[in-house]
Structure 1
Amino acid sequence: MEKFFNLKEHGTTPRTEFIAGITTFLTMVYIIIVNPAILSSAGVPFEQVFMATIISAVIGTLYMGLFAKYPIAIAPGMGMNAYFASVVATHGVPYQVVFGTVFLAGVLFVILSLTSIREVLIKAIPNSLKYGITSGIGLFIAFIGLKMSGIVVPNPDTMVTFGDLHQPVTILSLFGLFLTLILLARKINGALFIGMIITGVVGYFFNLLHFDGVVSMPPTPVFFDLDIAGVFSYGLYTVVFAFLLVTIFDTTGTMIGVAEQAGLMKEGKFPRAKNALMADALATTVGSTFGTSPSSAYIESSAGVAAGGRTGLTAVVVAILFILAMFFSPIIAAISSLPAITAPVLIIVGCFMMEGLSRIDWKTFDDAFPAFAIILTMPLTSSIATGIAIGFITYPLMKLVSGKGKEVHPILYVFGVIFIIQMIFFPAH
Structure 2
Amino acid sequence: MFEKYFSLKGHGSSARTEVFAGITTFLTMVYIVIVNPAILSSVGVPFEQVFMATVISVIIGTLIMGFFAKLPIAIAPGMGLNAYFASVVGAQGLSYQIVFGTVFIAGLLFIVLSVTKFRETIIIAIPPSLKYGITSGIGLFIAFLGLNHSGIVVANESTLISLGDLHEQGTVLAIVGLFITLILMARNVKGALFFGMLITAVIGYFMGLLKFNGQIVSAPPAPVFFDIDISGVFSHSLYAVVFAFLLVTLFDTTGTMIAVTEQAGLMKNGKIPKAKMAFLADAVATTVGSLFGTSPSSAYVESSTGVAAGGRTGLTSVVVAALFALSMFFSPVISAISSLPAITAPVLIIVGCFMMEGLARINWREFDEAFPAFIIILTMPLTSSISTGIAIGFITYPLMKIFSGKASQVHPLIYFFGVIFLLQMIFFPTH
TM range (shorter): over 0.9
1:328-407 residue pairs with structure 2 within 5 A? Answer: 328-407=330-409
1:238-317 residue pairs with structure 2 within 5 A? Answer: 238-317=240-319
Corresponding residue for 2:5?
Answer: 4
1:13-412 residue pairs with structure 2 within 5 A? Answer: 13-212=14-213, 213-412=215-414
**Cα deviation code 1:311-353 (max 9, x no counterpart):** 0000000000000000000010011100011000000000000
One-letter amino acid matched to 2:280: M
One-letter amino acid matched to 1:49: V
**Cα deviation code 1:168-204 (max 9, x no counterpart):** 1000000000110111111111110000000000111
Cα displacement (A) at 1:236 = 1.1
Task: Answer whether contact 2:97 2:226 (CA < 8 A) is retained.
Answer: no
Give aligned-pair identity as a percent. 74
One-letter amino acid matched to 2:106: A
| SS of equivalent to 1:161 | strand
Task: Answer whether contact 1:137 1:384 (CA < 8 A) is retained.
Answer: yes
Measure the CA separation in 1 of the matches of 2:84 and 2:56: 21
Measure the CA separation in 1 of the matches of 2:85 and 2:231: 18
Measure the CA separation in 2 of the matches of 1:311 and 1:225: 37
Measure the CA separation in 2 of the matches of 1:15 and 1:225: 43
**Cα deviation code 1:366-403 (max 9, x no counterpart):** 00000001000000111111100011111111111111
Cα displacement (A) at 1:225 = 2.9
Measure the CA separation in 2 of the matches of 1:376 and 1:297: 22
Task: Answer whether contact 1:98 1:231 (CA < 8 A) is retained.
Answer: yes
Cα displacement (A) at 1:271 = 1.6
Measure the CA separation in 1 of the matches of 2:69 and 2:159: 43
| SS of equivalent to 2:19 | helix
One-letter amino acid matched to 1:348: I
Measure the CA separation in 1 of the matches of 2:309 and 2:349: 14
Cα displacement (A) at 1:147 = 0.7
Ranges of 4+ aligned residues in structure 1 off by more than 4 Å: none
- RMSD over equivalenced CA pairs, Å: 0.6
Task: Answer whether contact 2:58 2:75 (CA < 8 A) is retained.
Answer: yes
> Is 225-234 or 212-221 further displaced after alignment?
225-234
Task: Answer whether contact 1:225 1:290 (CA < 8 A) is retained.
Answer: no
Measure the CA separation in 1 of the matches of 2:162 and 2:238: 39
**Cα deviation code 1:12-36 (max 9, x no counterpart):** 0000000000000000000000000
Task: Answer whether contact 1:280 1:296 (CA < 8 A) is retained.
Answer: yes
Measure the CA separation in 2 of the matches of 1:418 and 1:100: 23
One-letter amino acid matched to 1:34: V
Measure the CA separation in 1 of the matches of 2:242 and 2:269: 34
TM-score, normalised with respect to structure 1:
0.99
Cα displacement (A) at 1:166 = 1.5
Kindly tell me the number of residue pairs found equivalent between the two proteins: 429
| SS of equivalent to 2:188 | coil
Cα displacement (A) at 1:224 = 2.9
| SS of equivalent to 1:369 | helix
Measure the CA separation in 1 of the matches of 2:193 and 2:283: 30
One-letter amino acid matched to 1:67: F
Cα displacement (A) at 1:233 = 1.4
One-letter amino acid matched to 2:21: A
One-letter amino acid matched to 1:240: V
Cα displacement (A) at 1:81 = 0.5
| SS of equivalent to 2:45 | coil
Cα displacement (A) at 1:248 = 0.1
Task: Answer whether contact 2:103 2:242 (CA < 8 A) is retained.
Answer: yes
Task: Answer whether contact 2:66 2:317 (CA < 8 A) is retained.
Answer: yes
Gaps of 5+ in 2: none
Measure the CA separation in 2 of the matches of 1:217 and 1:280: 27
Task: Answer whether contact 1:61 1:72 (CA < 8 A) is retained.
Answer: yes
